[in-house]
């Protein structure tokens, strides 16, 4: 038995080597990759600025302790190995010995400890490192994170843009890290590319860092990120070859158009960890919406198929829960609500909201925060009309106006998009915890409170056994899908576009929020 | 002359202060603030972080305190600090200004020259082919939104017939000296200028045509013709000079559109100018940057009007004789 396992392992290793060597043969050094960026970057330092826009240049400029490919298993990066103590309270990182910052100074455990401090103080996601109480630095290449409780989310939090290792000798000069001048100019990072020029609204130019700690990489000599905010102009730029690569394309019409273009590949692969989900948020503290049956009736009145096929034009996948379908913690085993107007009417009658003489039951409002989702809310209005619910669409002048309404729970229903950000602890818990009700936009703005859900999330947050953890999240997803504080609709149709000339585009779980040291030009 | 200018300068200062107070108050009336958009750009933020941002940037201070400290700052020629871009507003504006000026001035000049030429030609033969062409062009220019014209130009000359680049102001991959880079910028400039020009061109050619028609029918032109002056002398020396003043007045007014008119064109062509910055700042509720740009545009309008006035005085002695 043992030898069989061994043989299998050997065979697997051999296959892996074959695969890697065939990639290595193809990969070639040199060239300039011109990529499109749809939004202006405001900050290049991921330690203080979250978001997918900073993530792209940020993960090229700064390395993290770990990295992920497409299967959610942590891979060594700045940490060549790591070790978690049996009680889960000590995480030891053994750093790569030859790693240097772009100014030539070595990357040490001091920098890791410093980066954790800066991230804890400035990063918008407190949940990532909240249990980290201190970082010990027994020697220059060992960092030990001391935790107050087991924290499995730490593995994803130590990857991608979430834990950029920044140089203490540059950012530790006493200036406020959030507004540090070196966040946008003269950036000294630890990643595969170093900054050449950043022009707000125009471009970010980066070139190969020759002393990068992974031998022979990156393959590209230069990366130019062109800032092209208009989606139509960006589509043309892909088509005529002015840019060879871009991510986070989200407009269904443009995606379908690009799919037909020759010499381009358009794929939704690679967004599992970012995990963006479109949903209908329901304020569970307001009038008829307090009743679970009303919320279920609303779900039964909405034809998801219409949203997927007609509005998203087949570019988006179904989302049945608040955890992205690509995540290992997602479960498809939850109640779904097929279009069934009879059932919806029956549920509403049962809840005590009978139709009046004109066939109306009650009035509701629906909000939306950005124009792209206007068709969805107009559709909800039309769909609910059929079961006697009068919906008024409330537009917001801009994002802050909408955010204010959401954050203060001044709404009945709203279309919303929320990101998972890797581990559920980081981006999922915030929407359901009783302790996080109405704490600003993208908190628990549904006013949802369920003691069992709170308990499940609390346990899942510190459960180190992946199977048990998955079971806890499965139960959580089933409860939420039954109680419907949110009716989950679809994944946001993020797509990556790349020309045939591009080899190894970043299609792992973190999309462009991951180092592109393996990307090359054919 | 000097008195006239100083009176205008005084008015201008009062106007600028009013612009400041009004803009500041209006922006303050809108619900939500930059902390929300910073959270948006971050994919969400914990409430403590957002409170911290509000404290750091003084957004939790009473309205009058904020307004007062802002006016004091502007009086010291400091437009403040952009919360969203983490940079001084003056830097942001000055960095974007050249691109917008290049675009707007090129489009204005082109529109003015071509517009006047077309206007004159069509006025000399009001029922001719050129005249109909000008009318048609004006109709198109008025009615077609610039972003639509822009996208059409992109599809035609960047995609189907790829002779012009689709976006940006320069190709950073180009090697070469000053000359190569200048040519590159000009290459990028063509489509945005044509798109932006289409609006102005309609205005100028139409106005010049009607103004020219009016002047050509007046007594002194008949006198000039009766004196036996050549057609060219009559049209270009006598008539055009007078017909131009409404066109120049209009051009002066259009100068105020330095920012507003260019926003859409800049958006379509990803032109890195002030218009894009203004638009993004409004979306991001980045108050200091919006206020800075509005203040700056107010200054541009005041200066533009002053220049228009001076030019009019030069070509038309009747203007401003008494003031």
Indicate whether A508 pLDDT > 70: yes
Looking at residue B105, its pLDDT comes to 87
Q: Quick one: B24 and B113 in the same domain?
A: no
Contact B45 A232 (CB under 8 A): no
Q: Distance between CA atoms of B294 and A7, rounded to whole angstroms? A: 72
Q: What average pLDDT does the segment A447-456 reach?
A: 97
Poorest-confidence range of A249-258, A355-364, A365-374, B51-60? B51-60
Specify if B96 maps to a domain: yes
Phi and psi dihedrals of A34, rounded to 5?
-100, 120
Tally C-beta pairs within 8 A across A and B. Answer: 175
Residues of A within 8 A of B154 (CB-CB) are: 232-233, 236
Give residue-wise pLDDT tens across range B101-129: 899 889 988 999 999 998 888 888 888 88
Go through chain B and tell me how many residues it has. Answer: 323
Q: In three state form, how does the secondary structure of A225-236 look?
A: EEECCCHHHHHH
CA closest to A53 among chain B residues:
B41
**End-to-end Cα, chain B, rounded Å:** 8
Q: Quick one: B244 and B299 in the same domain?
A: yes
B209, B215, B217, B219: CA torsion to nearest 10: -170
Q: Quick one: B119 and B51 in the same domain?
A: no
pLDDT in tens, chain B (323 residues): 677 778 877 887 888 888 889 988 888 888 778 888 888 877 777 888 888 888 887 888 888 888 888 888 888 888 888 878 888 899 889 988 889 889 988 998 899 999 999 888 888 888 888 888 888 888 888 888 888 899 899 999 988 888 998 888 888 877 778 888 899 999 999 999 999 888 888 888 888 988 988 888 888 888 888 888 888 888 888 888 888 888 888 887 776 665 666 888 888 898 988 888 888 888 888 888 988 888 888 888 777 777 777 777 777 777 665 44
Q: How far is B271 from chain A (nearest CA, A)?
A: 8
| A243, A370, A371, A400, best to mutate vs chain B, most B CBs in 10 Å | A400
CA closest to A438 among chain B residues:
B47
Specify if B1 maps to a domain: no
Poorest-confidence range of A67-81, A345-359, A401-415, B224-238? B224-238
Q: Quick one: B69 and B194 in the same domain?
A: no
CA closest to B46 among chain A residues:
A124
Specify if B292 maps to a domain: yes
pLDDT class of A180 with cuts at 50, 70, 90: very high
Which among A43, A419, A440 has the least Cβ separation from residue B86? A43
Specify if B4 maps to a domain: no
pLDDT class of A4 with cuts at 50, 70, 90: very low
Specify if B135 maps to a domain: yes
Looking at residue A14, its pLDDT comes to 46
What are the structure tokens assigned to A478, written together?
A: 């089933």
The range of the structural domain enclosing residue B212 comes to: 90-322
The angle that helices B274-284 and B287-315 make with each other, rounded to 10 degrees, is 140
Q: Quick one: B16 and B112 in the same domain?
A: no
Specify if B205 maps to a domain: yes
Which among B41, B49, B272 has the least Cβ separation from residue A53? B41
Contact B50 A239 (CB under 8 A): no
Q: Distance between CA atoms of B28 and B34, rounded to whole angstroms? A: 11
Looking at residue B232, its pLDDT comes to 81
Residue carrying structure tokens 């077309």: B118
Residues of A within 8 A of B27 (CB-CB) are: none
Q: Quick one: B192 and B69 in the same domain?
A: no
Residues of A within 8 A of B269 (CB-CB) are: 230, 233
Q: Quick one: B192 and B280 in the same domain?
A: yes
Q: Quick one: B103 and B45 in the same domain?
A: no
What are the structure tokens assigned to A403, written together?
A: 């955010």
Contact B40 A441 (CB under 8 A): yes
B109 Cα distance to chain centroid? 12
Q: Quick one: B55 and B99 in the same domain?
A: no
CA closest to B286 among chain A residues:
A400
Looking at residue A1, its pLDDT comes to 43
Specify if B3 maps to a domain: no
Which among B32, B159, B276 has the least Cβ separation from residue A403? B32
Specify if B282 maps to a domain: yes
| A403, A426, A428, best to mutate vs chain B, most B CBs in 10 Å | A403
Contact A125 B44 (CB under 8 A): yes
Residues of B within 8 A of A197 (CB-CB) are: 172
Q: What average pLDDT does the segment A242-265 reach?
A: 95
Q: Distance between CA atoms of B126 and B124, rounded to whole angstroms? A: 6
CA closest to A124 among chain B residues:
B45
Q: How far is A301 from chain B (nearest CA, A)?
A: 30
Give residue-wise pLDDT tens across range B146-170: 888 998 999 999 888 889 988 888 8
A369 contacts A411 by C-beta, under 8 angstroms: no
Q: Quick one: B135 and B66 in the same domain?
A: no
pLDDT class of A16 with cuts at 50, 70, 90: very low
Counted domains in chain B: 2
Q: Distance between CA atoms of B284 and A399, rounded to whole angstroms? A: 8
Q: Which of A220, A167, A222 is nearest to A196 (CA)?
A: A222
Contact A440 B39 (CB under 8 A): yes
Q: Quick one: B168 and B317 in the same domain?
A: yes
Which among A32, A200, A230 has the least Cβ separation from residue B270? A230
Q: How far is A267 from chain B (nearest CA, A)?
A: 22
Residue where a domain stops, chosen among B78, B106, B132: B78
Looking at residue A22, its pLDDT comes to 45
What are the structure tokens assigned to B303, written together?
A: 């200066």
Contact B272 A201 (CB under 8 A): yes
A189 contacts A195 by C-beta, under 8 angstroms: yes
| B33, B36, B90, B174, best to mutate vs chain A, most A CBs in 10 Å | B36
Q: Distance between CA atoms of B216 and B243, rounded to whole angstroms? A: 9
Residue where a domain stops, chosen among B48, B78, B108: B78
What are the structure tokens assigned to A399, written together?
A: 């994002």
HSE-CB for A22 with a 13 A CA cutoff: 5
Q: Quick one: B47 and B125 in the same domain?
A: no
Strand partners, A276: A419
Report DSSP letters for A173-227, one per residue.
Answer: SSS-GGG-GGGTSS---SSSEEEEEEETTTEEEEEE-TT-SSTT----SEEEEEE
Poorest-confidence range of A201-205, A407-411, A436-440, B126-130? B126-130
Q: Distance between CA atoms of A74 and A68, rounded to whole angstroms? A: 5
> pTM to 2 decimals?
0.86
**Contacts by residues A26-29 (CB-CB < 8 Å, ≥ 24 positions apart):** A26/A503, A26/A520, A26/A522, A27/A219, A27/A503, A27/A504, A27/A518, A27/A520, A28/A219, A28/A520, A28/A521, A28/A522, A29/A216, A29/A219, A29/A221, A29/A520
Report DSSP letters for B128-161, one per residue.
Answer: SHHHHHHHHHHHHHHHS-HHHHHHHHHIIIIIIS
Give residue-wise pLDDT tens across range A384-435: 999 999 999 999 888 888 998 999 999 999 999 999 999 999 999 999 999 9
Q: What angle do CA A272, A240, B273 make, to 5 degrees?
A: 85
* pLDDT > 90 in chain A, percent: 86
Q: How far is A366 from chain B (nearest CA, A)?
A: 18
Burial B56-75 (b: 16+ CB within 10 A, else e): ebebeeeeeebbeebeeebe
Check which CATH number belongs to the domain holding B129 and give it: 1.10.3720.10
Which among A52, A232, A236 has the least Cβ separation from residue B43? A52
A517 contacts A219 by C-beta, under 8 angstroms: yes
């Amino acid at each position: 038995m043992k030898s069989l396992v061994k043989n299998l392992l050997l065979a697997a290793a051999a296959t892996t080597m074959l695969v890697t060597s065939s990639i290595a043969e193809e990969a070639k050094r040199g060239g300039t990759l011109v990529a499109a960026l749809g939004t202006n970057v405001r900050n290049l330092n991921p330690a203080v600025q979250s978001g997918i826009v900073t993530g792209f240049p940020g993960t090229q400029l700064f390395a993290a302790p770990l990295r992920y490919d497409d299967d959610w298993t942590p891979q060594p990066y700045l940490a060549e190995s790591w070790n978690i103590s049996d009680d889960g309270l000590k995480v030891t990182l053994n750093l790569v010995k030859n790693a240097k910052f772009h100014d030539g100074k070595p990357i040490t455990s001091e920098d890791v400890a410093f980066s954790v401090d800066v991230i804890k103080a400035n990063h918008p996601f407190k949940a990532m490192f909240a249990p980290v109480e201190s970082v010990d630095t027994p020697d220059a290449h060992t960092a030990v994170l001391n935790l107050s409780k087991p924290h499995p989310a730490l593995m994803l939090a130590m990857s991608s843009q979430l834990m950029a290792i920044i140089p203490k000798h540059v950012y530790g000069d006493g200036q406020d890290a959030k507004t540090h001048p070196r966040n946008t100019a003269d950036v000294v990072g630890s990643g595969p590319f170093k900054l050449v020029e950043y022009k707000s609204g125009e471009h970010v130019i980066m070139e190969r860092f020759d002393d990068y700690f992974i031998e022979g990489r990156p393959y590209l000599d230069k990366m130019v990120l062109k800032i092209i905010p208009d989606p139509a102009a960006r589509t043309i730029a892909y088509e005529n070859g002015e840019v060879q690569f871009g991510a986070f394309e989200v407009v269904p019409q443009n995606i379908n158009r690009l799919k037909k273009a020759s010499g381009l590949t358009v794929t939704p692969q690679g967004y599992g960890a970012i995990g963006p989900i479109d949903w209908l948020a329901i304020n569970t503290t307001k009038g008829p919406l307090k009743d679970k049956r009303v919320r279920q009736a609303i779900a039964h009145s909405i034809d998801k198929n219409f949203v997927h096929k007609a509005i998203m034009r087949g570019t988006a996948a179904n989302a049945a829960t608040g955890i992205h379908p690509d995540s290992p913690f997602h479960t498809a085993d939850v109640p779904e609500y097929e279009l069934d107007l009879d059932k919806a009417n029956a549920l509403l009658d049962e809840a005590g909201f009978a139709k009046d003489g004109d066939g109306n039951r009650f009035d509701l409002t629906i909000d939306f925060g950005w124009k792209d989702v206007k068709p969805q809310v107009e559709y909800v209005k039309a769909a609910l009309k059929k079961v006697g619910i009068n919906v008024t669409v409330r537009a917001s002048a801009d994002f802050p106006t909408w955010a204010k309404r959401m954050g203060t729970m001044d709404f009945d229903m709203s279309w919303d998009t929320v990101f998972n950000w890797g581990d559920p602890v980081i981006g999922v818990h915030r929407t359901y915890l009783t302790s996080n009700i109405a704490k600003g936009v993208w908190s628990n703005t549904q006013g949802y409170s369920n003691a069992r859900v709170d308990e499940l999330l609390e346990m899942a947050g510190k459960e180190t056994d992946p199977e048990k953890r998955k079971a806890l999240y499965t139960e959580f997803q089933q409860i939420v899908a039954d109680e419907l504080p949110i009716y989950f609709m679809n994944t946001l149709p993020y797509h990556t576009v790349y020309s045939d000339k591009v080899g190894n585009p970043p299609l792992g779980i973190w999309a462009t929020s991951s180092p592109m040291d393996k990307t090359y030009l054919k | 002359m000097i008195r006239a200018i100083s009176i205008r300068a005084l008015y201008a200062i009062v106007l600028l202060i009013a612009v400041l107070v009004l803009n500041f108050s209006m922006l303050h009336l809108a619900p939500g603030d930059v902390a929300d958009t910073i959270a948006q750009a971050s994919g969400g933020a914990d409430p403590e972080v957002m409170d911290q941002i509000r404290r750091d940037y003084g957004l939790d201070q009473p309205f009058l305190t904020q307004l007062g400290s802002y006016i004091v700052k502007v009086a010291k020629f400091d437009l403040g600090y952009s919360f969203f871009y983490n940079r001084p507003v003056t830097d942001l504006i000055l960095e974007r200004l050249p691109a917008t000026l290049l675009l707007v001035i090129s489009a204005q000049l082109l529109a003015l020259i071509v517009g006047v030429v077309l206007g004159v030609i069509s006025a000399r033969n009001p029922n001719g082919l050129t005249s109909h062409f000008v009318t048609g062009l004006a109709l198109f220019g008025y009615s077609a939104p610039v972003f639509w014209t822009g996208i059409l130009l992109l599809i035609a000359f960047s995609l189907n017939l790829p002779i012009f680049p689709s976006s940006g102001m320069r190709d950073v991959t180009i090697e070469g000296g000053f000359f190569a880079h200048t040519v590159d910028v000009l290459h990028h400039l063509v489509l945005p200028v044509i798109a932006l020009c289409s609006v102005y061109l309609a205005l100028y050619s139409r106005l010049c045509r009607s103004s020219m028609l009016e002047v050509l029918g007046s007594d002194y032109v008949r006198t000039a013709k009766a004196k036996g002056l050549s057609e060219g002398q009559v049209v270009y020396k006598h008539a055009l000079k007078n017909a131009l003043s409404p066109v120049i007045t209009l051009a002066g007014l259009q100068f105020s559109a330095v920012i507003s008119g260019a926003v859409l064109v800049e958006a379509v062509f990803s032109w890195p100018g002030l218009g894009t910055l203004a638009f993004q700042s409004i979306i991001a509720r980045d108050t200091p940057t919006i206020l800075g740009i509005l203040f700056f545009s107010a200054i541009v309008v005041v200066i533009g009007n002053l220049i228009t006035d001076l030019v009019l005085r030069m070509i038309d002695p009747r203007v401003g004789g008494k003031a």
